[in-house]
Amino acid sequence: MNPFYHRACFLTSGAKLNQTPEDSGYEVAFAGRSNAGKSSAINTLCQQKSLARTSKTPGRTQLLNFFSLDDTHRLVDLPGYGYAKVSEAVKREWQTELAHYLEQRESLKGVVLLIDIRHPMKAFDLQMLEWSNEIKLPVHILLTKADKLRRGAAASSLLQMKKTLKSMKNPNISIQLFSALKNQGIDEAHAQLDRWFELAVD
């Protein structure tokens, strides 16, 4: 595990792009359905129990939450989608601000997209991948909750997802298995973050 990520601390939250930190340095954003284990993944990667708020009620993340690693590197927890009990108007506003962030944020170097390994890609997952392709933004997919499947089944799901992604002909997408509960896939995820943050050279 890379101890660089263990120093993460909460920086600020914002509902709109103009409420976010200065657009400089390096940022990696985490996106995913509200029940994909996004907050748990961030906490596991940073080896902290309550850095990002977890809840049994999906959809609690309703702001852009920024976590500082140092003066120039940040992790960003994006609003969850899919199960939040809010009005359609609020959901549309979230989506608009999310699009603004993804398209306009100069410091954003990549997006970690979390998908529950037990469920296929949903409409918003596909939209995220389409957005990323249009704006040439790299995406690294974490197939979360890999511990919920037997090893062979998890490997099969990973292979099937790789075939699906290959058909999209987007070279800026990578994918791996991940389990916050079992600390599976942490080193691989850290390696991808290192590349985006320019902390390591391939």
Task: Provide CB contacts within 8 A for 42, sequence distance 6+.
Answer: 30, 51, 52, 67, 75, 77
Q: Is position 168 within any domain? A: yes
Task: Kindly report the three-state secondary structure assignment for every residue of the chain.
Answer: CCHHHHHCEEEEEECCHHHCCCCCCEEEEEEEECCCCHHHHHHHHCCCCCCCCCCCCCCCCCCEEEEECCCCEEEEECCCECCCCCCHHHHHHHHHHHHHHHHHCCCEEEEEEEEECCCCCCHHHHHHHHHHHHCCCCEEEEEECHHHCCHHHHHHHHHHHHHHHHHCCCCCEEEEECECCCCECHHHHHHHHHHHCCCCCC
Question: What's the domain range around 57?
Answer: 3-196
pTM attached to this predicted model: 0.91
Residue 202 domain-assigned (yes or no) = no
101 occurs within a structural domain:
yes
Asked if 153 and 71 touch (Cβ cutoff 8 Å), the reply is no
Confidence of residue 99 (pLDDT cuts 50, 70, 90): confident
Query: pLDDT, tens digit, for every residue of 104-155?
Result: 999 999 999 999 999 878 888 888 898 889 899 999 999 999 999 999 999 9
CA dihedral (4, 10, 12, 14) positive or negative: positive
Task: Let me know if residue 201 belongs to a domain.
Answer: no
One-letter amino acid of 46: C
CATH of residue 79: 3.40.50.300
Q: What is the pLDDT of residue 58?
A: 47
User: Is residue 9 situated within a structural domain?
Assistant: yes
- The whole-chain average pLDDT of the chain stands at 88
- Chain centre to alpha carbon of residue 149: 21
Q: How confident is the model at residue 61 (pLDDT cuts 50, 70, 90)?
A: low
Q: Is 154 part of any domain?
A: yes
In a domain, 92, yes or no: yes
Number of domains in the chain: 1
User: Does residue 156 fall inside a structural domain?
Assistant: yes
